[in-house]
Structure 1
Amino acid sequence: MGFDYNSLLMASGAAGIALCFTLMSSWLRERGSTFLLTWALCIAIIIAAIVAFSVFHSTVNVLHSMLAGVLLTTAFAISYGGFTQFSTGRFASGPVVVLAVVSAAPIIVSGAFGFDGLSFVFINAMSALLLGFCGYQYWTARAESPGPITAIAALHWMLTLSYVFCVIVVAAETPLYLDGRVPDNWAEALNLMVSVIALTGIGGLFVTVHQERISRRHRDASLIDPLTGLNNRRALFERFPDGLVPQGAGLIVFDLDDFKGLNDRHGHAFGDTVLRSFARMVEENCRAEDMAVRLGGEEFVLVLPQSSATHALALAERIRSIMGRMIHTMDNQPVICTVSAGVAMAEKPGLSLDTLIRKADNALYLSKRSGRNRVSQTASSAA
């Protein structure tokens, strides 16, 4: 096919070294992405297997082929652990050990009995099974990054097919014994060329998925208030990209009473504790579809899709009541912080989010002016 076996082995090894370096570099920049380190380990073991195959090509010693085969299938078994780290963050050590042992056993047993041809069949067959299995696992996880992960699965299956061809050709030509010859046929050459393509492609795609994860993580962080873990103002306005609130939505604005005085008397650290407690309590009392937001300082917003004035007022009153009974401790002394709320409803279509917030703020101002620690709804809340 224009290339000899050793040249293709060297090309595979060079691709593996470059990929290993790329994955390690990416992991060093983002230590939390441990699947990159696991894949770098897989590639390092594959490089060792390539070296063993190269030695076998010179010696035709069955021990060298057995070593190469065990290294190769072990690397593919570990790649499954890389998948579990990729999808769950945890390395599935138990299944990886089982896969490695089950794959290595027929290679070792057949080689130990002198069936070097059969051992080579098992090397290719076990590799094909492991790669096909890993490809299927990535296929099931493609929702995260459909394009790159689908391509990763496809490259696994392309490599799987090349190993299947090797199984067929080796089984047909030397089913039990190599008779002092090294498998050197079109299927082996094709497998090595596909390996170069697959290793390079999978490595590049993993780096792409890794970068996409970092971008999503940064974007998610930009939408979260770091103190309370609630959505922030930016997330609120991204919820309504056209700036309009659907008819039937409700909005509650909360403001902790005399929060500046609380900070002055007990310190900002204590104030932060109160803010976090209030945020947690709001989350515990709203529905899954509701959106809790910290606008800034001591001001919070709760967006209620498809609500009613009765429901919104009842929810605001429940949160106000719970907050009024919540006791915080400072220097072994009980501290109570109350909250005031304003409620507004989008009673007609086409109401802007800014307008609804302003209406709820007007209701909040009414609560503050009326003595605090209460819930109000302005009479002019209709859109």
Structure 2
Amino acid sequence: MGFDYNSLLMASGAAGIALCFTLMSSWLRERTSTFLLTWAMCIAIIIAAIVVFSVFHSTVNVLHSTLAGVLLTSAFAISYGGFTQFSTGRFAGGPVAALVVVGAAPIVVSSAFGFDGLSFVFINLMSALLLGVCGYRYWTARAESPGPITAIAALHAMLALSFLLCVIVLAAETPLYLDGKVPDNWAEALNLMVSVIALTGIGGLFVTVHQERISRRHRDASLIDPLTGLSNRRALFERFPDGHVPEGTGLIVFDLDDFKGINDRHGHTFGDTVLRSFARMIEENCRGDDIAVRLGGEEFVLVLPQSSPTHALALAERIRSIMGRMVHPMDDRPVTCTVSAGVAVAEKPGLSLDTLIRKADNALYLSKRSGRNRVSQTTSTAA
């Protein structure tokens, strides 16, 4: 096919070294992405297998082919652990160990009984099966990054198929014994060329998925208030990209009473504790579709899809009452903090989120002017 076996082995090894370096570099920049480190280890083991295969090509010693085969199947078994780290963040040590044993056992046993040809068949067969398992698992996880992960699964399948072709050709040509010859046929050459393509492609795609995860994490962080863990103002407006809220959407604006005085008297650390406690409390009183938001400072918002004035007022009153009874320890002294609220409900279509917030703010100011620690609503529930 224009390439000799050793040249293709060298090309596979060079691709593996470059990939290993790329994955290690990416992991060093982002240590939490441990699947990159596991895959770098897999590639390092594959490189070792390639080196031993090259030695076997010169010696035709069955021990060398056995060692190379065990290294290769072990690398593919460990790559399964890379998948579990990719999907769950944890390395599945037990299943990986089992796969290592299952992959290596038929290779070692057939070699021990002198069936070096059969051993080579098992090297390719077990590699194909392990790659197929990993490819299938990536296929099932493709929803995270459909394009790159689907391509990773496809490259695993392509590589598995090339190993299966080696099985078929080897089984036909040398079913049990090598007879002092090195397997060197079109299927082996094709397998090595596919390996170069697959290793390079999978490595690049893993780096792409890694970068996409970082981008999503940064985006998610930009939508979360770091102090309370609630959604922030940006996240609220992104929930309504056209700027309008559906008819029947309720909105409650909360503002902690005399919060500046609390900070002045007890310190900002204590104030932060009060804010976190209030955030947890309103989350505990939310329905599944409700949106709890910290707008900034001591101001919070609850968006209530498919609500009504009665429900919104009742929820605001319940939260106000719970907050008034909540005790915040401070130097063994109980400290309480009250909250005022304003309620508005969109009872007509096409209302903007800005308008609904403004209506609830007007009701909140009414609560503040009326003595605080109370709930008010707009005079027109139609907002």
Q: TM-score, normalised by structure 1?
A: 0.99
| Separation in structure 2 between the aligned mates of residue 337 and residue 206 of structure 1, nearest angstrom | 50
Runs of 4 or more off by more than 6 Å in structure 1? none
Aligned amino acid, residue 92 of structure 1? A
Q: Name the residue aligned to 1:161.
A: 161
| Separation in structure 2 between the aligned mates of residue 344 and residue 219 of structure 1, nearest angstrom | 30
Cα contact 1:366–1:376 (8 A) shared by 2 = yes
| Separation in structure 1 between the aligned mates of residue 6 and residue 345 of structure 2, nearest angstrom | 75
Deviations 1:84-129 (A, max 9, x none): 0000000000000000011100100100111100000000000000
Deviations 1:41-100 (A, max 9, x none): 000000000000000000000000000000000000000000000000000000000000
| Separation in structure 1 between the aligned mates of residue 318 and residue 47 of structure 2, nearest angstrom | 64
Q: Name the residue aligned to 2:208.
A: 208
Deviations 1:181-222 (A, max 9, x none): 000000000000000000000000000000000000000000
SS for the counterpart of 2:126 is helix
| Separation in structure 2 between the aligned mates of residue 52 and residue 288 of structure 1, nearest angstrom | 58
Q: Is 1:340 aligned with 2:340? A: yes
Percent same amino acid at aligned positions? 89
Alignment of 1:280-319 (within 5 A): 280-319=280-319
Q: Name the residue aligned to 1:135.
A: 135
Q: Name the residue aligned to 1:19.
A: 19
| Separation in structure 2 between the aligned mates of residue 288 and residue 213 of structure 1, nearest angstrom | 26
Q: Is 1:190 aligned with 2:172? A: no
Q: Name the residue aligned to 2:90.
A: 90
Deviations 1:110-167 (A, max 9, x none): 0011110000000000000000000000000000000000000000000000000000
Aligned amino acid, residue 88 of structure 1? T
| Separation in structure 1 between the aligned mates of residue 181 and residue 4 of structure 2, nearest angstrom | 15
Aligned amino acid, residue 63 of structure 2? L
RMSD of aligned Cα (Å): 0.5
Q: Name the residue aligned to 1:232.
A: 232
| Separation in structure 2 between the aligned mates of residue 380 and residue 307 of structure 1, nearest angstrom | 16
Larger CA deviation: 35-44 vs 348-357? 348-357
Question: Any gaps of 5 or more consecutive residues in structure 1?
Answer: none
Cα contact 2:76–2:130 (8 A) shared by 1 = yes
Q: Name the residue aligned to 1:322.
A: 322
| Separation in structure 2 between the aligned mates of residue 7 and residue 87 of structure 1, nearest angstrom | 36
Cα contact 1:359–1:381 (8 A) shared by 2 = no
Question: Any gaps of 5 or more consecutive residues in structure 2?
Answer: none
| Separation in structure 2 between the aligned mates of residue 131 and residue 172 of structure 1, nearest angstrom | 23
Deviations 1:229-255 (A, max 9, x none): 000010011111111111100000000
Deviation, 1:380, is 2.5
Aligned residues between the structures? 383
| Separation in structure 1 between the aligned mates of residue 73 and residue 292 of structure 2, nearest angstrom | 50
SS for the counterpart of 2:334 is strand
| Separation in structure 2 between the aligned mates of residue 29 and residue 78 of structure 1, nearest angstrom | 22
| Separation in structure 2 between the aligned mates of residue 157 and residue 350 of structure 1, nearest angstrom | 50
Alignment of 1:118-133 (within 5 A): 118-133=118-133
